[in-house]
Amino acid sequence: MKQLMKKLESLLEKGGTKKDITLLVISGIFLILSLTGWNPLPFDLAWISIILCGIPIILEAIIGLVTAFDIKADVLVSIALIASVCIGEDFAAGEVAFIMQLGGLLEDLTVARARAGIEKLVHLTPQTARLIADGTEKIVPAEEVPVDALLRVLPGETVPVDGVIVSGQTSVNQAVMTGESLPVDKTVGDEVSSGTVNQFGAFEMRATKVGEDSSIQRMIRLVQSADAGKAKIVGVADRWATWIVVIALSAASLTWLISGEIIRAVTILVVFCPCALVLATPTAIMAAIGNATKHGFLVREGDALERLASVTKITFDKTGTLTYGTPQVIKVVSIADGIADTELYRICASTEQFSEHPLGKAIVRSYKQDNDAELLPCENFQMLPGRGVCAEVGGQIILAGNLEMLTENKIDVSGAVLAQVNQYLSQGCTVTYLAVSERLSGYIVLSDTMREESVGMIDALKDLNVQPVLLTGDNERAASAISTQLHIEELHADCLPEDKLNWIDAYQKKDEAVCMIGDGVNDAPALKKANVGIAMGGVGSDIAVDAADIALVDDEVKELPHLIALSKRMMATIKLNMTFSMTLNVIAIILAIIGTLNPVVGALVHNAGSVLVIINSALLLRWRKK
């Protein structure tokens, strides 16, 4: 039922927008006809605009005043409309109503109404669990699992609650919680979190945190609380509305009392209407959003670019954001006589060709990308969960896996080899050892490769006085290696979702505006908490995209400096628009006070000012950071 109501709401919103556009078009047509003097009807055609655009403004102003004494720009507009109609200046009333409704529609079009990130997080929550009781296994709802219950998790299943493995070995994909690009091997005594995925062997676990205390439920609450603290920016015209109304009414009243001419007072009210001021912000935002779209950004929140312009820190997730998020073979080392590096690579890929482990798949994929030679036949293939694989290739028994696998099979690894391997491990790489016929023959190094454009992008951000920060779930060694390559001085490793949230909160408490860029489910709370969240739309999860204000559709991070520079340019345009509109208002008011302007000419001056504001904003469409 809730889903149905949400869809209905969405349809009504879309329908409402179409109706508003239609009414504006009709109003504009009749205003132009009124200006030309052609009038086949017994009343001025400007009345069509007054009815379609003016009445909603008057009603909204009355409701706001009566229910909450809320003085907004529409209060002054309503007074000017009524005054213009009372003295017979119908065109002036219709024109002001049209411009104000146009500004309101532009603002509505730039604001996203709802996001579904929390709902999608809920869908990730495991629904059932395999409970072991009295020697039998039964399926129960995940929320009914008690603390200390014994559970079984099969390959491919999602871990239902937080707990500790009591029997079995496996590899667990923890990307949901930590964003790590590689699965983590788990054995007896290791902790597992709800929402993570069991890759291989079945294991039994003891539940430690269940229901609302589980990791996935905590993440949902983090997203909800982070979103609640993000306030919307109030329109400039509405922010100053009370003063505008007071000054306008005072100026009009004094002018009427001194001159005795009510037309001057009405003209003051008309030219005082903040039409250009209302258009100053939304037109610039829409043009900037159009520019951002051409550079691969989908701006999902209307005021996101306003917030982005004030950002002083930009925090990055590592995996999938600064790196590609997929392991690649970067080094093959043979230590066996008679086996070249290329042959060792072929033997290892042939051994791994039936593997379901991400590292095994990465070795096979990398080999096929780098070599034309076919893989060798593989027989008697066995998966060794948490260790590696064993198979017969070319009549020899091949072991490919980690150091524990070699130790269990009594295969010696010299100190010299370990010293070489430790150099790669210190850089955050992963190593697969290869033993041929029970003798260590070499090793293959895999690493999550950095995006080519990342270094230049980070340097360009520094030129814009924005400090980059690395927030990653990866270990300290991997984080330090990537931050050194990218010239990022500040980093925080081993971050869980709440850790990223806490770091952003700490920056914000120091009055620093923070932009967060991430791609995984684990980044969703931080994306919501940050002043601006940017998600990698191509490789990122749907939940990360829904949690963000902006999505980077094609994952070209090199465009990030342009986006930030564009936001600053947009704010400069908005300030110029506001300065121009206010200056124009002051001049028009002075001319109205001395009787040079009448309501119709005053309305046309306002119209010209609004057009110039729109033209200035439109220049942002083609703007490019030099």
Q: How far is CA 563 from CA 162, 286, 315, 462, 490, in A?
A: 40, 14, 15, 14, 22
* Dihedral, 40, 46, 51, 54 alpha carbons, nearest 10: 180
Residue 231 burial (CB count, 10 A): 8
Indicate the SS3 state at residue 540.
Answer: coil
Q: Residue 195: left if φ>0, alpha if ψ -120 to 50, beta else—which one?
A: left
Beta strands in 307-426 (DSSP E): 313-316, 323-334, 378-384, 388-393, 396-401
> What is the number of H-type helices and E-type strands within the chain?
24, 22
In 295-412, which residue ranges form alpha helices assigned H by DSSP? 304-308, 341-351, 358-370, 403-408
Pull the structure tokens for residue 566.
Answer: 């564009």
Give whole-number Cα distances, 597 to 264, 271, 475, in Å.
8, 9, 71
Count of C-beta atoms within a 10 Å radius of residue 257: 9
Residue 340 tokens, joined: 């070249």
Q: DSSP H helical segments within 273-394, as ranges?
A: 275-294, 304-308, 341-351, 358-370
The two structure tokens encoding residue 166: 């009591």
Catalytic residue numbers, as ranges: 317
Residue 207 φ/ψ, nearest 5 degrees: -70, 135
Q: Which of 307, 213, 244 is nearest to 508 (CA)?
A: 307
SS (H, E, C) 83-108: HHHHCCCHHHHHHHHHHHHHHHHHHH
Rounded to whole angstroms, the Cα distance separating 609 from 376 reads 75
Q: For residues 548 and 533, is the Cβ–Cβ distance under 8 A?
A: yes
Instruction: For residue 572, give the nearest of 305, 172, 194 by alpha carbon.
Output: 305
Taking CA atoms, 542 is separated from 121, 215, 556, in Å, by 10, 19, 18
User: Sheet of 323-334: strands edge to edge?
Assistant: 323-334, 439-450, 430-436, 396-401, 388-393, 378-384
